[in-house]
Amino acid sequence: MTVNLFLLMGESNTRKSSSVRSLTGIGKLRECNIELAGGKEIAVFTMIQALQEKGVSPAKFIQMIKRGNYSNVLTPLRIRPAKGNPDGKKYIEYFLAEGWHINPIFVLGADSLPYQLSSKIVTRFIRNPQRPNSQNAKEIKKVWGWA
């Protein structure tokens, strides 16, 4: 099964979790329905907190997604390592090795990454960490094809 992955990246205090809540309307780990621009709905398994901050390794996250049989997943990642877990690039490498499809990644509160991602990955930068979540969500939804 191919997983369709939606990622937000940033360091601490860049509104990753707030942006997830704004995009989904939920405030805790669970699957929710997201309406697409064409009117169709998809179920999206949603993590609120960055995987590193939550203490979830790449391998553990992949197992979690496989066990739950989730096909659409939204999660934040830290750019740099945190709490003994690797940087965002390492997570992305694991996901690509699993054959997961990665939608354009939104990087919050930065104008570059300290590493190069695969050429298959499109990154968009939202530089202002104080930009209202509603504006971030509007831009992100448009790119991801969400209503």
pLDDT in tens, 11-50: 999 999 999 999 999 988 899 999 999 999 999 999 999 9
Q: How many whole angstroms separate alpha carbon 91 and alpha carbon 74? A: 13
Strands 72-78 and 4-10, by their bridges, are: parallel
Tell me the torsion sign for CA atoms 99, 115, 63, 144: negative
The answer to whether residues 78 and 63 touch, using CB atoms and an 8 Å cutoff, is: no
At 2, the pLDDT band (50, 70, 90 cuts) reads very high
